[in-house]
Structure 1
Amino acid sequence: MEIMIREWTMADTAAVLRIPTAADDKYSRGVVALRTGSAAYPGAAVLGVEAAWRTGAGYVRYLGGAPDAVLARRPETVVGDEIGRTRVGAWVIGSGTDAAHRSEHEQTALRRVLSGRTPVVVDAGALDLAQEAVAPLVLTPHGGELDRLCEQLGIARPQEAASGSPEHRAAASIEVARMLHAVVLCKGARTLIASPDGRTIAVTDAPAWLATAGTGDVLAGILGTLLAAAPGRPHEEVAAAAAWLHGFAAAIASGARDGAVGHPIVAMDVAEALPAAIAELIA
């Protein structure tokens, strides 16, 4: 079966971004809660929180295992183990965590998030819990994690799928999306976003400098913020906008624009370039 893939554009991304008005407050601009990071990987928490703020969140709540690192970098963040009465618009879970070392307390907390009605960005160390979720999900696996999801779900992969071709990644993403009733954003040089009904979007043109540790944590923070700020938008479109903005910020940070080769960057450079990327989009 031929898969029809929509190519996402700058104009598509600009249409998803929500520009605040005088009528907005911190809640209407988007409330993001992150249960990310750990003692082993505190940087993932810092990067995701930084990206959420830089993308324009009105309120960021952090409930993960690296509160001191988060507050040292972003003191605006509200830290605590319970969400209380905070009106969360989107969750981000899993970045910088390892399912093999998950405590019973953390397992219970994640399952509580996944049993709600608020959209959840599920990354890295929480992908194994997606099968039992009730909440609307956007999964953000890389190619290896997508393969593990296929194995977990009993999805047969053709032998040639090991080549990682875009066609096979798209087919696998669609099947995982269908079985989990979730949007799947498979990260790569050509990022593919699949929805449960088979609609597929491709996001390209990100500079190769983006392939560095921690940039996936930044993407998760961007995505959580856009989901919280645009509750009426189809989640596959919001995911595509997040991926495009992520790549655009990387192009600005690395100087890889207008044919320039650019230069190396680190993940925090991408997060810090987000305001400039957004300003250019909405100008």
Structure 2
Amino acid sequence: MAKPRRWLEWEAAQARDWIAVPQATDDKYSRGVLGVRTGSTAYPGAAVLGVEAASRTGVGMVRYLGPKRVSSLVLQRRPEVVTADGRVQAWLLGSGMDAAARSDEETARLRKALKQGLPTVVDAGALDLVGGTAGPTVITPHFRELAGLLGRSGQTVTADQIAGDPGEWAVRASSALGCTVLLKGSVTHIASPSGIRLTVSGAPAWLATAGSGDVLAGILGALLATHSARIEADADALAALTATAAFVHAAAAHRASAGGPLVALDVAEAVPATLSALLA
């Protein structure tokens, strides 16, 4: 895709081209397998929400590889999820984790996934490991997380400064970290190292709720898994898929809200109907 140097608003006309529709010859493996290392004993719901959203975004299989108690909760909600290790086409890492409380064993598992060279979503409690990525990578910070991440790379900036000019800081972060950045906010900014700059606007204010980011990460992880071959052929596909995830997330929130309050699980449950309407 072209590399706009000005910000381009990503809308339905662009997003629908990045939804993988299965063909009669597809099976669960060719439709994409997403590996998920998310959640913790302190925040198990993040894993449930991310897996729920990924499962509803068209991925062929989700492999959840996390703590035993969290796996049990994931399976209670989504019994079709596979909890055995195996081949995957993309990774979702870090949602519902706390880097400060992460065990050495879990850190080693995250590093191993990051070094596989697969398309990867790095969220929340794995953001501190972003320098060790070997494949196409999207990070999904909010303002405070990005300030901390840039601080570790030697740039002094506050969350308030990022909030004052989120587009500029998304671009700076993408350049400094060498990955695609999805910066959360009332307007989502997506910036890639190659110069792509995309925005997604119009999400309902009700979407500012606990677990919303976990749902977004799940949607994005699924899109990367279903388009892993396309990403391998064209690195710029990563930014388009990231913007599409943000668009689907916002559209599903509108559908779930219908003008009123919502919770994160409502958004995940609204994804299939949202994709159906988008493709129609």
TM range (shorter): over 0.9
Please state if 1:48 is matched with 2:50: yes
Quick one: distance in 2 between partners of 1:250 and 1:17? 18
Please state if 1:247 is matched with 2:250: yes
Q: SS of the counterpart of 2:14? A: helix
Quick one: distance in 1 between partners of 2:121 and 2:127? 10
1:14-163 alignment runs, 5 A limit = 14-65=16-67, 66-80=70-84, 83-84=85-86, 86=87, 88-157=88-157, 162=161
Q: 1:163 to 1:153 in 2, by over 3 A?
A: closer
Quick one: distance in 2 between partners of 1:217 and 1:127? 14
Q: SS of the counterpart of 1:265? A: coil
Do the aligned partners of 2:20 and 2:227 also contact (CA within 8 Å) in 1?
yes
How far residue 174 of structure 1 moved from its aligned partner, in angstroms, is 1.3
- Aligned partner of 1:259 in structure 2 is none
Do the aligned partners of 1:46 and 1:73 also contact (CA within 8 Å) in 2?
yes
Quick one: distance in 2 between partners of 1:103 and 1:29? 33
1:214 to 211, 216, 219: 211
- Aligned partner of 1:258 in structure 2 is none
Stretches of structure 2 lacking an aligned partner (at least 5 in a row): 232-236
* AA in 1 matched with 2:29: Y
Segments of 4+ moved more than 2 angstroms = 159-163
Do the aligned partners of 1:27 and 1:58 also contact (CA within 8 Å) in 2?
yes
* AA in 2 matched with 1:70: V
Quick one: distance in 1 between partners of 2:139 and 2:63? 20
RMSD: 1.6
Q: SS of the counterpart of 1:55? A: coil
TM-score by length of 1: 0.92
- Aligned partner of 2:163 in structure 1 is 164
Q: 1:44 to 1:163 in 2, by over 3 A?
A: closer
- Aligned partner of 1:200 in structure 2 is 197
- Aligned partner of 2:234 in structure 1 is none
Do the aligned partners of 1:36 and 1:94 also contact (CA within 8 Å) in 2?
yes
Quick one: distance in 2 between partners of 1:156 and 1:72? 44
* AA in 2 matched with 1:126: A
Quick one: distance in 2 between partners of 1:153 and 1:197? 20
- Aligned partner of 2:273 in structure 1 is 276
Do the aligned partners of 2:121 and 2:217 also contact (CA within 8 Å) in 1?
yes
Q: SS of the counterpart of 1:60? A: strand
Quick one: distance in 2 between partners of 1:140 and 1:92? 11
Please state if 1:176 is matched with 2:182: no
How far residue 161 of structure 1 moved from its aligned partner, in angstroms, is 5.8
Do the aligned partners of 1:91 and 1:119 also contact (CA within 8 Å) in 2?
yes
Quick one: distance in 1 between partners of 2:134 and 2:23? 33
How far residue 197 of structure 1 moved from its aligned partner, in angstroms, is 2.0
Quick one: distance in 2 between partners of 1:236 and 1:180? 15
How far residue 180 of structure 1 moved from its aligned partner, in angstroms, is 1.9
Count of paired positions: 269
